[in-house]
Structure 1
C-alpha cells in the first residue's frame, strides 16, 4: 500500500539516477567491483570489509589505472548496527494545580538510539531485550518562599550634644531572617536619626588681659588680670557672629580652682626707660613640614611662635636677652620653598631678607651660606675724594663728578662736572701720574655730552658704530668722485671731431 512520502525516511530513499563511465580508447578499463566481503558477527569496532576489481585493458602512454581495492568499517554496515537506550535529564518539578510549593513529580524521557546516533522506534530496543533505566518518574520538593524578618526598632540613643541645635539621636534594627526564594526582601533602612531638642549652652568665657599694674611705681614687676563670665550660646561659640550674651553665673555651674587662680591673674613686667624686654608671644605660624625638593616624607609638621626683643637703649644691647622661639607639633602642614630677597643698593648697602614661597617674609628657612652680601666692597677700596663703590664692583664718582681714569683703567680722581651739580657726566679721560691743569680746550671737551669711555674704562659701543659709519662714508665719497670724473671721458668718444679753441677763433670784434 503506497502512503505519503513524508512518512518514510528520506535518507533511506534508493538512488534513482546513477552515474556511469564510458572509457575512451586510450583509457584504462577496469572490471566492475566485486561484492563486499562479509563482516564478522562479533561486530568488532575495528573490523572492516573489502571489495576488489581487476584491469581489463591497460592505458596508453604513461597513464595509470585507478585503485583496485576498497575497504570500509563494519560498524556502518547494516549487518553490525547496535542499539541502546538514551535517557534525558529530569524535568522541572511539577506540582498539583494551584500549589506554589511542596512535594511534586519530575520525569525523564526514554529514547532508542541506533549506533550511528539516529533515533529509532522504542520497539527496536525492546525487541533486543535491552535493560531499561530504573526510574523514569520521581518525587521532588519545591521550597516555599520565605520573607525577610526584621527586629523591632531599638530605643532612641542619648543626644550627641548636650546643648545647642546640632545634636542628633539614633535608633536601629537588625535582620532576623534573610529572604529566600521569592520571599519579600529586607528593607534597606536599618537605622534612623532625628534632631535633639534645642537647649541653650552655657560656657565660661575668659576676658582679655588688663594692662600691667605696678603699685606705687611707674615701671617694674606688676600684676595683670582678666574677668571670667558666664555666657549663653547655641553650640556655635566661639565662631558665632556677634558678641556673647552674659547670663547669671549659676547657669555655668562651678568653675575650676585653677581658673580662679592661674587663669585670672598672673605677674607681668613694665619696662623702665632704657630697659630691654621681650614682647608678647606672636600668633602661631602656619603648619609646615620638613621638605626635600618640594616633597615631604612625614605626616606631622611643626608650627612656631616667637617673642621679639625691644631694645630701648643701644648701650644695653649686650645685656638684653635673645629672641625666644617656641615650637609645637601640628597636622595638615604644607611644603614651602625659601629664597633670599634683596633691595636696591643705597650708598653701598642694601636690605637682605628671606621670603617663603607663599610671599611671607620669615626669619629662618634660607641657607646662610647662600645669603647675598648686604654691604658692597670694591678691591682696591674707593679712597679717592667723592668716589664710591659701584654695583659692578669698580670705583666710580658720586653724582655731579666725572671719573678721570689711569692708563690701567682704574679711577685716578673725580673732577667737578661743569653745568650743574645735579648732572653727572659719563666722560672718562686717561692721565698719567701728573694731573693736567684746567684749560679752555679741556673745558670744551668736558662739556661734550658724548664720551668714548664708559665708567669702567672700556670703549663705548657708539664709538665702534661711528668708526664704521665714517669708513662707509669715505667709500661712498670715493665712489661718487670716480663716477663724476670718468663720465666726460666717456661722452667725448661720441662727439664730432674737435674744433679750434675759442681763443684761436677770436676776430677782434667788440661784440665777441
Structure 2
C-alpha cells in the first residue's frame, strides 16, 4: 500500500515539471519574437592573440598558432564574420645539435695464454659522431686487461720400468716382476700418474717331470655267454702318460676273466614240417592231404615241445568246370566231360551245335563259336545275305545273292546298283556337236560353242562376217596341216567361239592383202588338205 502511494507521488511530480517547463519556454519565445523586430546587428572580429610557443626548438617540424574571437556577434539576420578564427606558422626550422654517442663494447677476445703471468684479452667499441654543434665523445675506443694469470699445471710423469726379475719357478709356470717410480710429481692441478709402481707377468721355468698315472678300472662288460664253458667278460683302464722324463706305468690296461661257466638248458625244438602228402581226390569237395614233423629233445632243464607232430588240410576242393559233387564234379551244361570236367567236348566235330547253314562252326575251350560266312550277316545262328555292306540294296535293287543286287532303278546297274556313266559307255544320244555330262542316274547334253539347241539336236550359229582392211597383219598357225589355197576375195573373221577346235592362230608379221594366199592351217572337219572354205578366226590385229 505504501509502495503504490509512493509511485503516485513520483508520477504527479514529473507531470508538474513538464507543465512548468513548457510554460517558461512559451514565455521566452514570446519575448524573443518581440525583440526581433528592433535588434539587427553585423558580426565584428576582435584583435589577434599573441603567437604561442614553438612546438619544437629545432628541426623542420616546429609550428606556432594564434587566435581571435568575435567582438560583436551578428543578430537579427546580421552579416556573419568572414575569415578564420586561428592561424598557424612554421618556427625554429633549423638543424638540431647531437652529441657523440658510444656504442656497446664488443665481447672480450680470447686470452693470449691459458696460464702464467703474460695472458691478456681486449675489446673495442664504436660511436656515432657529434652533429650540428653537439659535444664529442670522451674515453677510449679499446680496452686491454690481464687474464689467466694463474700457475700452469704440471702433469705427473713415470720413470722408465726397471728390468724384469728372475722367474719364481725352476720348472713349470712362475712369475717375474719389475718396478718404476714417479720422476715428476703433479702440481698446480696437473694430472696424477695412472697405474702402479709394480708389474708382473707369467714365466715358464721349463717342463717339470711327471710320472705315468693309471686311471680307475671301468666296470666289467656283459658276459659273452649265459652258460657253457666259454663265457668271458672284460674291463679296461686308461692312463695319463709320463712327461718330461717321469717314470712309466707298470701293468696292463685291460683284464679278461671267465664267467657263466655252467650247463646251458636246451628247449625242445620242432624241426621243419615235411612235404604234403598226395591229395585223396583230384577234384570235388572232399579231398584232404597230410604232413608230419619231428623234434630235438630238451636238455639241461629246457622246456618240452608242445603241439602236434602231424596236420591235415583240405586240397583240390574245386572244379575247373561244373560244380563240386563229392569226390568229383557235375559237368552238366559245361561243354566238358570227365570226373573233374576237364575234357573239352568238340561240338563242331561231333555235330552237336546250332550254327546256321551259311555259318562256320569253330570249337572253343568248353564251347563253340558260330560265324556267318562271307556275304552274310548275323549272329552265326541266324545269317542273312549281305549286299554291299547292307542287308538291302540301294536304288530299288533286290539282294538276290551275297554282294549282288538285281532289278536296280533306271540309270543304275548290278551288282551294286551304282550309277551308269552313259557318256563314257556311249549310251547317250547327244548330238555330234554337243558335249555329254554324266549325272547321278542320268546325263545331260550341252551344244558346243558356236552351236545352239537342246543338246540332242544342235545347229551351227550363223557367222558374222567382217572384211579385213588392206595390209592387215594376221597370223596362221598350221602344226600338221597341208598347203591350203585361200580363194576368198578378202579375209574375214567372226566370234572366236565358233571354230575353237580348228587351232588356227596368228603368226606375227604375215601380210594379208586382199587376194589369193597360200597358208598352212589345221582345221579338223573342214580342211581337205588343199582348200579351206571356212572363215579364218583372227586372234589379233597388228598394225
Query: What TM-score comes out, normalization by structure 2 length?
Result: 0.28
TM-score by length of 1: 0.29
